Amino acid sequence: MRQTELNLSEEDRSTIEAIRSKGVHQAREVNRAHVLSCLDRGIAESKIMEVLGVGRTAVWRTRTAYLQGGVELAVFDVQRLGRPRQYDTNATKSLGAR
């Protein structure tokens, strides 16, 4: 299988290195930064999956997200709306009765 080349810009490369080396980041963000760094250096996907313990889909998604939207989209999780809070009407009535 042919691997799509990925070439990071110098600015993106320094951002990735900062995420990998310092600061407080979530584990998945650091893993994605490692994936981008490895792809930039031309390391095979199979080796990335073996060393980092991630699946092929994670590598593909990280690469695709970088190509579509840069480091921000590839490394950091996008804010999602989620499910709206559900309030129990009986619970609010019992609190007011006290």
Is the model's pTM score more than 0.85? no
Q: Is 53 helix (H, G, I), strand (E, B) or coil?
A: coil
- How many Cβ atoms are within 10 Å of 62's Cβ, its own excluded? 25
| 42 Ramachandran zone, left/alpha/beta (phi>0; psi -120 to 50) | left
pLDDT tens, residue by residue, 3-30: 777 889 999 999 999 999 988 888 999 9
Q: With a cut of 60, say whether residue 96 has pLDDT above it.
A: no
pLDDT tens, residue by residue, 20-70: 998 888 899 999 999 999 999 999 999 999 999 999 999 999 999 999 999
Domain residue extents for the chain: 10-75
Q: How far, in Å, are 24, 48, 78, 91, 96 from residue 30 at the CA level? A: 9, 14, 15, 41, 47
Q: What is the token pair recorded at 79?
A: 């804010």
